[in-house]
Structures are given as C-alpha cells and as structure tokens.
Amino acid sequence: MENGTLLKAKAEKFGLTEGITEWILTTKNAAGEEISANAAPIGIIQKNGKICLRLFKGSKTFENLRREEYFAANVTDDTVLYAESAFYDLDENRFEYREYQPQAMPAERIPVLKEADCVILFRCADRNETNELLIIEIEPIDCMIQNADKPGFVINRGINAVIEACVHMTRYELTKDRAYIDKINQLQEIVFKCGRKRDREAFEIIMKRLQG
C-alpha cells in the first residue's frame, strides 16, 4: 500500500479536492440482503487537512458504514446514474467487486460501479456518531481508472454555483431585475460551503461587481 501522502496526491489527481465534491459511494449491505451492494450520491468533505463524510440517520449508506470499514467512491459524468442511485436500488449486475488486502488481514471485497470512469477505495479511520448524524474520517487506500478513454469528472457544487452566479450577474446588468440578486445570494451559501478557495475568490469578484 502506498503511503498516505502519495495516496492523497493521487486522490487529488482524480478530483478529490478542497471543499465538498460529489461522488457515488458504493457500500456493502448487511449479509442476507437480496441486493448485496448499495450505491448513493454522497458529498466527500476535505477541510483542514482531513477527509470525511457526514451521513444522516435513515440512509442505507449510514447503516452500512456504521458496520463496514471499506467503501468506494465512484466518478462518472452520467447524470442518469446519479439520479438512479439517488432514488432507487441498482440491480446487483451493475456492481463488480475489487479485492483489497489489508496488511496481515483477510482480503476485503469492495463493491464498485461497472459504469464508473474511475474509483477511489477508502477506509473508515474514525467514527463519531450522534443521535442523527454519523461523521466518519476517511482515508484513501487505492485509486484506479476503470475507463481508459475517460478520466472522469468530479462534481463540485461550488464550481457550478459560481458559473450560475456569473450568468445571473450578467442578466442583472442587462435587465436590472432584482430577482437575479436574490438568486446570487442563494448561490453564495453553496460556494462558501462546498467550493474551493479559488471558487470563493471568484464569488468575491461577483459580489464586488454587484456592490460596485
């Protein structure tokens, strides 16, 4: 296994950057369930040198990662796959399993999506659970490209929000319709919650333009 610094650098190459990036997480269901793997869109948070998940009680991912130590984060630009995994159980034939051999431990079989462009395997390093929330500090253990023709595209809502704010700002300057100001203000929270430092700098340019 590569050391943590090398793995983090590789994970960043695949799109795991500062802020909250959107992935489809695949986890193992409890033994005996008809479908043995689960897929769901989840944001991975990277902040202050740590990588973590915030999972709310009631979700299948919450239940699985209370129990399982390993999972996969799948990259795809297929929005249909995001919608399907958000609202429905995917058929078992949509998954395949990658083996990971922890040092001096039995091999782990980790489900991944066959349709993913690339995948990062993670280990749950530390858990902190409240009545409604499970916060898990995670670490990348392996990264792989599944589709050599596509590097994959990781979604960061902060980037998209900056683009939308630019569109609203240009329309406001043309029309002076204050409804666009309300839309820009709504996007500000997304940028500062999910975006990278560069995205926040970009939004400051928009706000200065609006105020000036």
Q: Where are the domains of the chain?
A: 4-153, 156-211
4 and 49 Cβ atoms separated by less than 8 Å: no
User: Superfamily for 156-211?
Assistant: Hypothetical membrane protein ta0354_69_121. (1.20.58.290)
Other beta carbons less than 10 A from residue 83's beta carbon: 11
What does the CA dihedral 77, 80, 85, 91 come to, rounded to 10 degrees? -110
| Cα 116 from Cα 150, distance rounded (Å) | 10
Condensed to tens digits (0 to 9), the pLDDT of residues 34-80 reads: 779 999 999 999 988 889 999 999 899 999 999 999 999 999 989 99
Determine the pLDDT at residue 2: 52
pTM above 0.85, yes or no: yes
- Choose which CATH entry (3.30.1330.120, 2.30.110.10, 2.60.40.10, 3.40.630.10) describes domain 4-153: 2.30.110.10
Determine the pLDDT at residue 1: 45
DSSP string, 27-65: EEPPTT-SS-EEEEEEEEEEETTEEEEEEETTSHHHHHH
Q: Which residues of the chain have pLDDT under 70?
A: 1-7, 10, 104, 151
Place of tokens 């240009």: 170
Q: Can you read off the two tokens belonging to residue 74? A: 């799948």
Determine the pLDDT at residue 34: 74
Residues ≥6 apart with Cβ < 8 Å to 19: 45, 46, 47, 156, 158, 193, 194, 195, 196, 199
β-bridge partners, 51:
46
Give the chain's end-to-end CA distance (angstroms, integer): 53
206 and 184 Cβ atoms separated by less than 8 Å: yes
